[in-house]
Amino acid sequence: MYLDLLHALPHVLSLTNFLAVTIGVVAGIVVGALPGLSATMAISVLVPFTFGLEPLVALGLMAGIYNGAMYGGAIPAVLLRIPGTPAAVATTFDGYPMAQKGEGGFALQVAVVSSSIGGIASAFALMLLAPPLSKLTLLFGPAEVFWIAVFAMCSIIFMLGGNVVKGLISACFGVFVSVVGSDPIFGNDRYTFGYLELLDGINIVILLVGLYALPPVLDLLESPLKTDTANENLGTEPIWRTLPRMMRFWKTWLRGSLIGIWIGILPGAGGSMAAFMSYNEARRASKTPESWGHGEPEGVAAAEVANNADTASALIPALTLGIPGTSVAAVMLGGLLIHGLQPGPMLFRENPDIVFGFMWQFLFGAILLLFLGGSLATNSFAKLLKLPRPLLGSVIIVLMVIGVYSIHGRMFDVYLMLGFGAVGYVMDKLKFPLPPVVLGLILGAFAEENLRLSLRIGRGDWGILFANHTSQVLVALTIAVVFGPSLKRRYWDNRKSGAQG
């Protein structure tokens, strides 16, 4: 199966495909650097435009953007203490103090080298782990897939942190949206109100664009950004002189990569969680924890290596099981689907050149990041952050409308997208988490379809859901995810009160 990996290489090295990755990385860095614009949003705006492209070109763009944006977020985090993406929050802790000390250039170099290393590690994880996992997926029939969907939904609701009730409400909204259209077995119309446009259900891209792209743009327009950079001088030195100074971070890089890869595979958690965990672990292991938070370059390294290490690994469950690990992976799944690439074991068999090519693109994206990111981390680039917000916002809204219109060539979808945008805006303001909505839409449909299929196979006997070991393990995991956090809290509280008494 690893032979297919080599077969795919020539396709990736063709000029257009390589160009796509390069453009993607640059665009990703820019998007990531602009606060309010995230990789999820950039890719969801892009997806409808990729219809006419070759699948590999489209996927290369996405892989590039994902890698680029995860680093791009570090630029304003270091220079302005404004994380460009949610995943760059941990980068501000030490990055900004470094910039104040006039070491902004070095901070960005640490960020770009760490990001690149994290991305490379993640790409290798995807290449090595996905093919064997895809073989395993033949074990998963309808009953097992149903449990996977339930497990993924529970883990995102209960592990996302924050308010569980709000997470549940978000997920229920997503599941409700998944019900619209003809039912998966008999084709009865549900909530279509006679519109043929709704018969196929609501296209995931419409929901994604509305939910993820519109609210941040409105946010952008609401709050004109004050750009009073503390220190205009970055103090950039040539990278070959700074590189040897970074070699002492190798332990942090290794640890951060592993954490990022692991978090990426878990559904629900994302780049920001990986960055926080890696930062905490690195500080705990450090000999000089007191210098952290006051401009310790290793802190930047820890955060940046981890938030790039979850990029490709988030696609492992997405490609093999159709379960996205992060919201970016969810958007990419939408991108795969519109090119007729159904995730699952068949994907590896039917389109090996595309799947394995996609993995190579992740690797090249990460390597390119080193060169492109390094040369962009300059004073002139920092000025881009001062683009007028209204201009930026309106351009993105126009792109969104064109993109959604081009999915089926009808205004109906645009109105639907704007409607979801309004819902998303309100949810955002009320602090309802958005990822459960997307997963609710994807997994709700998945769960329903497979539950009903397995009941048909079992001829109405619910016992079929628990009939084999794969199902039983998944049920146990689901129970652990649902009750684990509250049991752990109770256990901790007991121990604390025990210590006091």
Q: How far is the CB of 156 from another protein (least distance, A)?
A: 23
For position 453 contacting another protein by CB under 8 A, the verdict is yes
Q: How far is the CB of 58 from another protein (least distance, A)?
A: 17
Residue (151 or 446) nearer to another protein, CB:
446
Query: Which residue type sits at 100?
Result: Q
For position 179 contacting another protein by CB under 8 A, the verdict is no
Interacting residue with another protein among 185, 476, 479, 487 (CB under 8 A):
185
Site for another protein in 41-70 (CB under 8 A): none
Q: How far is the CB of 420 from another protein (least distance, A)?
A: 19
Residue (16 or 342) nearer to another protein, CB:
342
Q: How far is the CB of 198 from another protein (least distance, A)?
A: 9
Residue (90 or 202) nearer to another protein, CB:
202
Q: How far is the CB of 182 from another protein (least distance, A)?
A: 8
Residue (52 or 244) nearer to another protein, CB:
52
Q: Is 133 exposed, middle or buried (0-12, 13-18, 19+ CB in 10 A)?
A: middle
461 phi and psi angles, rounded to 5 deg: -90, 115
- DSSP letters along 177-240, please? HHHSEE-TTT--EES-TT-GGGTT---HHHHHIIIIIHHHHHHHHHSPPP---S-S------HH
Per CB under 8 A, the segment of 137-145, 257-265, 324-332, 484-492 that binds another protein is: 137-145
Interacting residue with another protein among 3, 188, 193, 222 (CB under 8 A):
188
Joined tokens for residue 132: 């064997």
Choose among 338, 336, 363: nearest CA to 351: 336
Neighbours of 42 (CB within 10 A): 30
The dihedral sign for the CA sequence 114, 119, 125, 127:
negative
Interacting residue with another protein among 6, 9, 13, 138 (CB under 8 A):
138
Joined tokens for residue 342: 């159904």
Q: How far is the CB of 203 from another protein (least distance, A)?
A: 10
Joined tokens for residue 46: 């892009």
Interacting residue with another protein among 72, 95, 118, 142 (CB under 8 A):
142
Q: How far is the CB of 137 from another protein (least distance, A)?
A: 8
Per CB under 8 A, the segment of 229-237, 353-361, 422-430, 448-456 that binds another protein is: 448-456
* Whole-number CA gyration radius for the chain: 23
What character string, x for contact with another protein (CB under 8 A) and - otherwise, covers 335-374? -------x-xxx---x------------------------
For position 469 contacting another protein by CB under 8 A, the verdict is no
| 88 touches 303 (CB < 8 A) | yes
Could you tell me which residues come within 8 angstroms of residue 430 by beta carbon, excluding any fewer than 6 positions away?
166
Please state whether 203 falls in left (phi above 0), alpha (psi between -120 and 50) or beta: beta
Find the helix packing angle between 55-72 and 15-33, rounded to 10°.
30
Per CB under 8 A, the segment of 88-96, 194-202, 276-284, 323-331 that binds another protein is: 194-202
- DSSP letters along 49-109, please? GGTTS-HHHHHHHHHHHHHHHHHHTHHHHHHTS--SSGGGHHHHHHHHHHHHTT-HHHHHH
Interacting residue with another protein among 408, 475, 477, 485 (CB under 8 A):
408
Helix/strand/coil for 337: helix
Binding footprint of another protein on the chain (CB under 8 A): 138-142, 182, 184-189, 196-197, 199-200, 342, 344-346, 350, 408, 449, 453, 456-457, 459
